[in-house]
Structure 1
Amino acid sequence: MFDDEKVRLIQAVPESDAILVIWIRLLVLAGKTNDDGLIYIQRNMPYSEEMLSTLFGKPVNVVRLALVTLEKFNMIDLNTDGSIAITNWSKHQNIEGMEKVREQNRIRAKKHYDKNKNSNVNLTLDLTETNATDIDKELDKEKDIDKEKIPYSEIIKYLNNKTSKSFKVTQKWKDLIKARWNEGQRLDDFKKVIDVKTGQWINNQEMNKYLRPATLFGNKFDDYLNEYRPQISSSISDEIAESQRKIAEAYEQ
């Protein structure tokens, strides 16, 4: 780690020791979260600077300086929803090993589930066996998702076409897309989010900079997706208006 060029450059800035300690603590938090380098307490609840200050035992202004410095060196990404993402997470963590941890946790949960089901004497053997296979089905479903070919290039290409930008298919963006994919999102969902936020931000100079994978495919993905409303053709819109007019006339009569 300390032979890394970026780390050596950080050692030359003020509060370098504190920044490096915070960097290591962030890596540990990301490993604890175990979600492709994302850092949060729970979904939709990111760490605030004050929380990190308490956890790390550092003043808030030092934590803020560390986050700004690490983002400047492209070591972390600060999402608009407040969550933090470690850039190139696979470089810092054994992804295969972390997946094994997740698999072990699922197996442990299954054993606990089976034990509780078997301890209920009121259940018949057939019912117990049926319920006990539910988690197996969920595990198989997750494995099927892993086998699917995720259209990284198509998603990034669609984003570039809509925003006139030129993002590359980097490991950082792959990690974000995979995280959403594993939650059940699919290509159409990514396109809907891109369409929604492009329509809102493309002509806004301040918000246009947030039309990037880190923002669109982060923890607020579901919120953005819920904003999607399909376009209604003018003819259908006219028909709806005419129906409403007739209903109003009938009510008055």
Structure 2
Amino acid sequence: MALKNKRYFWIQLAQDFFKSKEMKLLRKIAGGDTHTIIYLKMMLISLEDGGHIYYDGLADNLAEEIALVIDENVEDIKITLIFLESKGLLTRKNDRDYFLEQVPEMVGSETATARRVRKFRENKQALQCNTDETKCNGDIDIDKEIDIEIEKDIDKDKNKNKNPVELIVEEYQSRIAPLDGTQFEILKEFITLDGMEAKVVLKAIGFAADNGKRNFSYIKAILTNWKKDGVLTIAAVDERERAYKESKIKGQSENQKSNVPEWSQPNYVNTTSEEDKEELEKRKRELLERLENRGG
């Protein structure tokens, strides 16, 4: 039986993480350093679930259940939970689902294969002789084999085990620009508060990138407009695009028709009155007389 390709997760703390107001306040309360460590441990155990911590009901409460996992004092964990909830760093989806708000923007991961390849190349580079800059055929074959294995793993694991918010962060940062905390919260609220599907946010990011509008304001304007019009699902977005294309084609067709003289239409009916016809005939004769006089 083939071994499952394990995935490794880690958190990437921003350079100013411990300088944030929330972390400064946490460290200032009694036992602050302990509570900070508890918070970091909670982040680590939530990584595989994209920031979610689930209460399974094995212990009397969430704090006791977390204590079983991270080996910290229950009372210290309770104080940490109260602080995190009061500062909006921990939100409760329901009685069994809790979410650490900072985790999605900090999470990183790689497969066991990618990890093995990275370590292999690091070790090989460290051991490589400075006088021999040419790879031997054996090294080339090993690299090719590992590269092929990595490509297979990437295809298999792409977007797997990632929550929608994480996908949005990756898509934005790969196609637009680095995403700051405020921008992240705004995009997330379109999903959590307005009930918009994550695919709709991804669509707006892709639309902006494809049209060369790589800025947050443009994406926010698209999403705000869609929300105002009740376009909250990817199906609604697709229907909106289809209707727009149809109206555009119809408009082009009508413009083409308007450039053709009415009298050339097969169903044309001349509605000119007799008085108008006589007036036109009179002007025609006058014009002909002028032309004859000039010619003479």
TM range (shorter): 0.3 to 0.5
Higher strand share: 2
Please give the TM-score of this superposition, normalised by the length of structure 2: 0.32
